[in-house]
Amino acid sequence: MQDVQFSIWTRAGGQAVKMGSLYVTDTEARFSYTADFVDSGLPGLSLVYSPQLFAETTIVHHQSGSLHPRFRALIPPADEQNFQRKLMLAFLREKGVEPGSGFAADLALLAHTGHGGIGHVDVFPDDDAAQRWYTSDDSGPLVPIGDRFGFSLKDMISWLDADARFILESLGPTPSVGGAIPKLLVAIPAEGWDGRISLPNRIARDDRIDVVLKIERTQAYPGLAALEALALDLHREAGFKTPRYWFAEVGGLPALAVERFDRSDDGNPLPMESLYSLLASGARDIVRHTDGSLDRIGKVIDLAEPLLMADKKTARIHLLERLLLALLTGNGDMHLENLSLIGAEGKAQFSPVYDPTPMRAYSMHNMLCAVTFGEYGEHPDEDDPLQAACIQFAHNIGLRRADLGRCVERLLEVTAGYGERVGALDTLPGENRERLEGIHRDMRQRLRGLQL
Same-domain status, 322 and 431: yes
Same-domain status, 153 and 60: no
Same-domain status, 151 and 38: no
| Domain boundary pick from 108, 135, 162 | 135
Residue 384 lies in a domain: yes
* Contacts of residue 75, Cβ cutoff 8 Å, sequence gap at least 6: 67, 85, 106, 109, 110, 114
CA atoms within 13 A on the CB side of 91: 26
Q: Which helix (H) or strand (E) holds 249?
A: strand 245-250
Cβ atoms 290, 335 nearer than 8 A: yes
pLDDT for residue 153: 45
Summarised one tens digit per residue, pLDDT across range 392-402 is 999 999 999 99
| Domain boundary pick from 73, 100, 135 | 135
Q: How far apart are the first and last CA of the chain?
A: 60
pLDDT for residue 151: 39
* CA 18/CA 122 separation, integer angstroms: 9
Task: Tell me which of 136-140, 148-152, 337-341 is least confident.
Answer: 148-152
Summarised one tens digit per residue, pLDDT across range 31-83 is 999 999 999 999 999 999 999 999 999 999 999 999 999 999 998 887 656 66
Cβ atoms 446, 384 nearer than 8 A: yes
Nearest Cα neighbor of 373 from 359, 352, 387 is 387
* CA 372/CA 114 separation, integer angstroms: 31
Same-domain status, 244 and 338: no
Same-domain status, 441 and 299: yes
pLDDT for residue 94: 74
pLDDT for residue 178: 29
* CA 364/CA 26 separation, integer angstroms: 37
Summarised one tens digit per residue, pLDDT across range 417-437 is 999 999 999 999 999 999 999
DSSP per residue, 223-238: THHHHHHHHHHHHHHT
Residue 8 lies in a domain: yes
| Domain boundary pick from 82, 107, 135 | 135
* Contacts of residue 229, Cβ cutoff 8 Å, sequence gap at least 6: 245, 247, 256
Nearest Cα neighbor of 376 from 277, 256, 294 is 294
Residue 254 lies in a domain: yes
Residue 114 lies in a domain: yes
Residue 223 lies in a domain: yes
* CA 419/CA 75 separation, integer angstroms: 37
Q: Where are the alpha helices (DSSP H) in 25-77?
A: 35-40, 69-72
Q: Is 1 a residue whose pLDDT tops 90?
A: no
Nearest Cα neighbor of 108 from 90, 84, 126, 89 is 89
Same-domain status, 428 and 299: yes
* Contacts of residue 11, Cβ cutoff 8 Å, sequence gap at least 6: 17, 120, 122, 134, 268, 269
Same-domain status, 45 and 89: yes
Residue 276 lies in a domain: no
pLDDT for residue 410: 98
Tell me how long the chain is: 452
Same-domain status, 332 and 439: yes
Q: Is 171 a residue whose pLDDT tops 50?
A: no
pLDDT for residue 99: 83
Same-domain status, 127 and 171: no
Q: What is the DSSP letter of 140?
A: -
Reported pTM: 0.90
Q: Is 174 a residue whose pLDDT tops 80?
A: no
Residue 266 lies in a domain: no
Q: Is 21 a residue whose pLDDT tops 90?
A: yes
- What's the Rg (C-alpha) of the chain? 22
Tell me what percent of the residues of the chain surpass a pLDDT of 70. Answer: 90
Residue-range definition of the domain harbouring residue 216:
143-259
Same-domain status, 128 and 149: no
Same-domain status, 309 and 441: yes
Give me the phi and psi of 372, to 5 degrees please: -65, 160
* CA 73/CA 61 separation, integer angstroms: 15
Where does the pLDDT of residue 182 fall: very low under 50, low under 70, confident under 90, or very high at 90 and above?
A: confident
Summarised one tens digit per residue, pLDDT across range 225-278 is 999 999 999 999 999 999 999 999 887 789 999 999 999 999 999 999 999 999
Same-domain status, 246 and 153: yes
pLDDT for residue 204: 86
Question: β-strand 143-144 against 196-197: which pairing, if any?
Answer: antiparallel
CA atoms within 13 A on the CB side of 325: 26
Exposed, middle or buried by CB within 10 Å (0-12, 13-18, 19+), for 292?
A: buried
Tell me what percent of the residues of the chain surpass a pLDDT of 90. Answer: 70
pLDDT for residue 378: 78
Q: What average pLDDT is seen over the chain?
A: 88
Number of domains in the chain: 3
The stretch 307-331 carries a mean pLDDT of 96
* CA 60/CA 28 separation, integer angstroms: 7
Residue 68 lies in a domain: yes
